[in-house]
Chains A and B, each alone.
Chain A
Amino acid sequence: MSEVLILVDAVDGRIAKSTGELATFAKAIGKVSAVVFDANLVSQLSAYAIDNVIICNGIDVTKFSPAPVAQTLAQLVASKSAAAVLITSSSRGKEIAGRLAIATNSGIITDASTIDSDLVTTQLVFGGSTTVHAAVTHGITIATLRSNSIEPIAGSGTPTIEEFTPTISDAAKLGQVISTEPVVKGGRPELTEASIVVSGGRGTNGDFKPVEAFADVLGAAVGASRAATDAGWYPHTHQVGQTGKSVSPQLYVACGISGAIQHRAGMQTSKMIVAINKDSEAPIFELADYGVIGDLFNVLPQATTAIAAKKA
Chain B
Amino acid sequence: MKIAVCVKQVPDSWAEKKMAGGVLDRASVDAVLNDLDEYAVEEALRIVEANSPTKEAGEGSGHTITLISMGPDRATEAIRKALSMGADEAIHICDAGLGGSDALATSLVLSKAISDGGFDLVICGTESTDARMSVIPAMLAERLGWAQLTFAGSVSVDLGATKVSIARLTELGIENMEANFPVVISVIEKINEPRYPSFKGIMAAKKKTITVKSLADVGISADQVGSKAAWSNVRDAVLRPARSVGIKVEDGGDGGTKLADFLAEKRLI
Contacts and interface: CB of A to CB of B under 8 A. Distances in A.
Interface of A: 11, 65-67, 70, 90-92, 94-99, 101-103, 106-111, 120, 124-126, 128-139, 171, 174-183, 192, 196, 218, 229-230, 236-237, 242-243, 245, 250-251, 261-262, 272-274, 276, 280, 285-295, 298-307, 310-311
Given A133-B236, A272-B266, A303-B260, A95 B179 contact: no
Contacts of B169: 236-237
Contact of A99 (B139, B165, B248, B260): B139
Q: A-B pairs with the 4 shortest C-beta distances?
A: A294-B251, A302-B256, A107-B231, A98-B135
B142 A67 contact: yes
A303 B259 contact: yes
Contact of A180 (B148, B175, B183, B246): B175
B176 A177 contact: yes
B101 to A, nearest CB: 13
Contacts of A304: 256
Contacts of A181: 173-174, 176
Contacts of A174: 146-148, 179-180
Nearest to B145: A171
Contacts of B66: none
B234 interface: yes
15 contacts: A67-B148, A91-B134, A95-B134, A101-B231, A102-B142, A111-B132, A111-B133, A135-B235, A175-B141, A175-B183, A180-B172, A181-B174, A291-B246, A300-B256, A310-B260
Contact of B269 (A96, A98, A134, A307): A307
Contacts of B236: 132-133
A99 B104 CA distance: 10
Contacts of B249: 290-293
B126 interface: yes
A292 B258 contact: yes
A125 B17 CA distance: 9
A135 B118 CA distance: 37
Interface of B: 13-14, 16-19, 36, 102-104, 107, 126-127, 129, 132-139, 141-143, 145-151, 153, 165, 168-180, 183, 188-190, 230-240, 243, 246-251, 253-264, 266, 268-269
B174 A180 contact: yes
A175 B251 contact: no
Given A95-B150, A230-B190, A294 B139 contact: no
A307 B262 CA distance: 11
Contacts of A287: 243
B231 A139 contact: yes
Given A99-B138, A175-B179, A298-B251, A120 B237 contact: no
B231 A102 contact: no
Given A251-B268, A292-B251, A304-B256, A178 B233 contact: no
B268 A293 contact: no
Given A95-B137, A291-B248, A306-B257, 18 more contacts: A66-B148, A98-B107, A98-B135, A101-B135, A108-B133, A129-B240, A131-B239, A178-B165, A180-B176, A218-B268, A243-B127, A243-B189, A245-B171, A285-B248, A290-B249, A299-B259, A307-B264, A310-B264
Contact of A130 (B103, B240, B259): B240
Contacts of B170: 90-92
Nearest to A171: B145
